[in-house]
Amino acid sequence: MDLINHWLHRSGKKLTGLSVSPEGLGFARIGKGLGDAPMLDVCGFHPAQAGINLTEQLAHIARANKLKKQSCAAVIDLGKYELFPVEAPNVPENELRGAVAWRIQEMIDFAVEEAVIDVFDFPGDRPANQPRQVYAVVARESLIREHSEAIRGAHMQLNAIDIPDLALRNIAGLLPEDSQGVAFLYITGERSLITITKHKSLYFSRSFPIGFNHLQAEDLDKVEDTENTEIAGWYETLTLEIQRSIDYYESHFRQSPLMNLVLAPIEIELPQLQQHLEQSLGIKVRKLDIASILSVPQDLDEKIQARTLLAVGEALRQ
């Protein structure tokens, strides 16, 4: 079973993006706008409900939004997979995934026989004297099977199952900063994901267990009590993770200094975040409104943008 099914393929057909998380299901479909910007013609979020399984949730979304028999691609939840950079074994292409599986079996905390593994190449040209490098994506087969069966059970046509890193890559590729290289920071309640892209290619991504639940504070300058001191520490840890990511991108891929960080929409207000990162990292930091890169028929508040962002990114695959 494929985890990522031809992520570089573009069919030209409309594709519905689905994002699956414990909080609920995001969905989005992209059509052609009047200008250069793609048009977001379907977008929404269906909160998870106790006692209703994934198939039932998807079936409700499909009926309500006329998505039955439509091609779709699903993004698995952040933290439900691993992404490793590895040296590609010197084997025929049709044996690559199997060879990579044995190379990474000591890196995962479950049996490799229970895993679904896919690979994609590092971007850019590699020097002739350096071995081929690939990213290996690993997830539990039970999770991939659950998503696949639920989508088909809802009478939707499954095109691919993807990871957040590549869904965000699709969005970052539309940013004006992408031509020079851009870091894109996506924050959920418990985790964050940073991607670094250039010319629509994913160079680097890293996930870490810091979310907006760790970063909420009325005023970071007030650190007299233990609670605020702890929150300030989370901000510093987040900054360190971002700086490490940027340093790796610049040194490993021999890139010029990265000067832009874009913040994805966040479900809650973090008024200190942009200024803190800009001052700490010494680069330009701005927040993304998806209406700046997509034609949006109606105003979407930041909360719904945050909850549907991965689905939007996945819908941009075609």
Residues of the chain with CATH 3.30.1490: 81-142
What is the pLDDT, as a whole number, of residue 218? 58
3-state secondary structure of 39: strand
Q: What is the pLDDT of residues 10-57, one digit of tens each?
A: 445 688 999 999 999 999 998 876 666 788 988 999 999 888 899 999
Which residues, in sequence order, are bridge partners of residue 256? none
pLDDT band, very low/low/confident/very high, at 128 (cuts 50, 70, 90): low
Tens digits of residue pLDDT in 141-158: 999 999 999 999 999 999
SS3 label, residue 117: strand
In the chain, ranges of CATH 3.30.420.40 domains: 176-287
Quick: pLDDT tens for 167-198: 999 999 999 999 999 999 999 999 999 999 99
- Average pLDDT of the segment spanning 289-297: 91
DSSP 4: S
pLDDT score for 14? 81
Alpha helices in 178-291 (DSSP H): 212-215, 226-252, 273-281
Between helix 302-315 and helix 164-172 the angle, nearest 10°, is 100
Which CATH number does 81-142 carry? Answer: 3.30.1490
Token pair of 244, please? 């490490």
Nearest residue to 170 (alpha-carbon basis) of 301, 302, 13, 312: 312
* pTM recorded for the entire structure: 0.91
Q: Cβ distance 38 to 294 under 8 Å?
A: yes
Q: What is the residue whose two structure tokens read 């330009």?
A: 284
**CATH number assigned to the domain with residue range 176-287, chosen from the 4 options 1.20.58.340, 3.30.930.10, 3.30.420.40, 3.40.640.10:** 3.30.420.40
Q: Rounded mean pLDDT of 238-258?
A: 96
Element (H, E) at 54: helix 54-64
Measured CA to CA, the distance from residue 270 to residue 175 in angstroms comes to 22
**185 and 35 Cβ atoms separated by less than 8 Å:** no
Half-sphere exposure of residue 9, counting CA atoms within 13 Å on the CB side?
Answer: 10
pLDDT of res. 216:
86
Please count the other Cβ atoms lying within 10 Å of the Cβ belonging to residue 92: 7
pLDDT tier for residue 284 given thresholds of 50, 70 and 90: very high
pLDDT at 166: 97
Count other Cβ atoms within 10 Å, centred on residue 69.
Answer: 9
Give the pLDDT confidence of 213-239 residue by residue, as tens digits.
999 865 555 544 445 788 889 999 999
pLDDT in tens, 73-119: 999 999 999 999 999 998 999 999 999 998 998 999 999 999 999 99
- Name residue, tokens 């930041």: 302
